[in-house]
Every structure is written in structure tokens, then in C-alpha cells.
Amino acid sequence: MSTPTKRVAFHTLGCKLNFSETATISRDFIRHGFEKVDYRDEADIYVLNTCSVTENADKKARKLIRQAKRRNPNSSIAVIGCYAQLKPETIAGIDGVDLVLGAEEKFNLLNHLDTLDLNNGTRVIKSDINHVHTFTSSYSSGERTRSFLKVQDGCDYTCSFCTIPFARGESRSDTIANTMKVAREVAQTDAREIVLTGVNIGDFGKGTTETFFDLIQELDRLEGIDRIRISSIEPNLLTDEIIEFCAASQKFMPHFHVPLQSGSDKILGAMRRRYKRTLYENCVAKIKHCIPDACIGVDVIVGFPGETDDDFLDTYNFLNELDISYLHVFTYSERPNTDALEIGAVVSKEDRAHRSKMLHILSDKKRRFFHEQFIGQERPVLFESVKNGKIMGHTDNYIQVQVNGEIDFINTINNILLNENNDMIVNGILA
């Protein structure tokens, strides 16, 4: 009698980098004969890829672990990712966890499961983060239209609020030649679009003669992929030559996500960011000069220790005047072992919430204004999904569009007339 196929379920918390790594690990399981099921289903093995950027991410991880064990008390539960590297003993103390793997070991999950002895308690395997130097290529799959391609890992910056260097280690990447091999593998899938991802992608090639600019020039010649987007890139690493290159490229989309974090030079200094607001302002101006229809997304943190009402208003007014398209607003969250804890007076949770609300309203206003500029124009839309009877997709400059259309539209690029701004989504008509 044959042994039943083991079922494995994955759940990912956090950034798109985590999603690309989970997808790579799951493909390894499938190649070894496992059946992949939804995390909400009963499985033999549950794998949770964690984030630890905020306190809420920690809480969510603990909740998901307990939920999995309730679904199948006899299952094995493995926890990987940033939280596993930072707080392995805390995770090991959660009832039901069998295996905790740090940053270096997560890609060897299958091998570790083979040696797991469920009678010997939770096994923790973690290297000192200072000894983590390997780079493992990853890309997401299964979304059909879009793949997140990991091109860089780790970070050498020492921002005072961030735990990522402790969770992922030093900045590192593969060679351009090897990165292109993985990109060509992605091009063999159904994906029409690649999003370049990492912790600090502008740092690609650090310690070598290769640069991020060299990489995007090679990727521009990649066959089988219609669109490439640069995910988040530090403003001090988004050079004029990168912007000018993207402006001339047919493959790189007019869309940039550039973290700011604060519009106050005082707070930027306390955060240990590597720029002042003037550099950021010049970066936005350069993008808009070279690519007038570009979409620009901005990360900003509210409630950083020592941020006064005046500091926040500096940020608000700075963002209000900038020609940007939307905000990702993060409420400052105290993270263990970060220097921010010692920097300044704690901002009350009420003030943090109020400031967050103000910036969310500003973001909605910015997005609406950005969308309005393109009403009455045709833009190419890559359709991705169906929702409420509408076919959904994004323009080249990252406007979400919905049209009446056939399911066959999914994973195709069509010229769409943008005719109505419907809150955060634009209604369109097939041109």
C-alpha cells in the first residue's frame, strides 16, 4: 500500500521579499512530492514565514501558529523568517511549534524536517547573523501576471528604528549573470511583469564592480517579460542615471517607490537616514522632469521618538507640497535592541494615531489628484484578477483600473480609456 502524499501549507507575513522566498521554498516541497494546500486547510506540515518589523507582526505570527495547531493537532509546525531569527526562543516557547529556523537555514527546511524528532521538543537552528553571508535567489510564482524577483538581501544601513539588519544580516547579492539566469526562469512562467525586490535593492553588487544600474541595463534586454518595476529604493541610491535610463526604457515602468520616513531634517538625523529632505525633493523633481506621468509612492513613519507637533507638521507640509502619488504610512512601533528607544520623548499612542490619520487622508487626496490627471487618456493596462464582476488591473504608471470585460482578459495588456475616478479605482473602457 502506497504512503499518502503529505500536505504542506504556507503562510507569509510581511514584505514581498518574504513572499518570493516562501514561493521558492514551496516549489522545493512540490518537487519532492508534497501536495501544497491553503494554510486554512488541514495539513501535515505548516510553514509560517514571519516578519518582525512591527509589534503587530509578532502578535499575528503567534495567532497563526495556534490556529494551525487547532486545525491539525498532529501536524508539524515550522517557523522561519525575520521573527524566527530575532526571537527564536520566544517562538520555541509557543505550544505546538516543532522547528524554528533562522535566516541562514530556512532554505534547507526540507532537510531539517527529515531529521526532526517530535519526541525531543522544539528544535531551534539559528546562526549568528554576523556569520550569514550567503545569498539565495528567489522569486514568487502562482500569481500569474506578476513575479517578485529577489535581487538583493540584507542591509548595511543602521537606521535607528529598524531590526532588519539583525534579522537578515549584511547587504549581499548574486552576480548579474546568475541573477539573469533566474530572471530568464521567471520569463518561462506565465508572468508578464517582474517586480525587483530586496531589503535595499539599490545596494545591489556592493563589494563588487557590478551595480544596480548595470543590472537594470541587462534586465532591459530580458525576453519574455513585458514589464519590470523597481520596488522600494532608497533616495540616496536612486541616481540620475537610473531615472534617465527608466525614462528611455520601454520595459521599466514609470513607477517608483521611494521611502522618505520623515520630512523633518531633525527627525531624519535621529533616524540615521542617509539624506536630508533637500535630496529627496531633488529626487522627486528629477523623476517628474524625466517622466512627467510617473507614479511616486512614499513610505513615512509617524510618532518617532522625539517627533514634536512641529516636526510632524514639517513632514505633513513637505509631503503636501511634493508632486507624489500616494503614501504608505507606518505608525512607529518600538522594536527591541534598536537605538530609537533611547533617542527622545515617547510620542503618545493617541498622537501617533492622529498623525497617522492625517497622513492617510493626505494620501487619499494625493492619489485622487494623481488619477484625475489621466482621466480621458488611454493607458496600457495589465489585467490581473476579477472582482465584483469587473476585470481589474494596473496601468504602466500603477493606476488601478476596472473595466467590464471577459475573463480571458486576465494576463493580457490592453489599451484602456480612463473615463471616471471612482474613489481609489479608475473606471475604464476598452479602447
Reported as a single tens digit per residue, the pLDDT across 115-126 is: 776 557 788 988
pLDDT digits (tens, 9 = 90+) for 127-139: 888 888 899 999 9
The pLDDT of residue 361: 98
CA distances in angstroms from 18 to 136, 213, 398, listed in the order given: 12, 24, 22
Q: Which fold has domain 138-372?
A: pyruvate-formate lyase- activating enzyme (3.80.30)
Domain with CATH 3.40.50.12160 in the chain: 7-127
Distance CA 363, CA 365 (A): 5
The pLDDT of residue 1: 34
- The answer to whether residues 194 and 147 touch, using CB atoms and an 8 Å cutoff, is yes
The pLDDT of residue 116: 72
Q: Which fold has domain 7-127?
A: Rossmann fold (3.40.50)
Domain with CATH 3.80.30.20 in the chain: 138-372
The pLDDT of residue 156: 95
Contacts of 289 (CB under 8 A, 6+ apart): none
How big is the chain by its Cα radius of gyration, in Å?
A: 22
Query: What is the SS3 assignment for 404?
Result: coil
The pLDDT of residue 308: 97
The pLDDT of residue 130: 85
Numbers of helices and strands, H then E, in the chain:
13, 18
Domain with CATH 2.40.50 in the chain: 378-430
**Architecture category of domain 378-430 in CATH:** Beta Barrel (2.40)
DSSP structural state of residue 261: B
* Low-confidence stretches of the chain (pLDDT beneath 50): 1-2
CA dihedral 188, 193, 198, 202 (to 10 degrees): 110
Distance CA 269, CA 160 (A): 10
Query: What is the SS3 assignment for 10?
Result: strand
The pLDDT of residue 375: 97
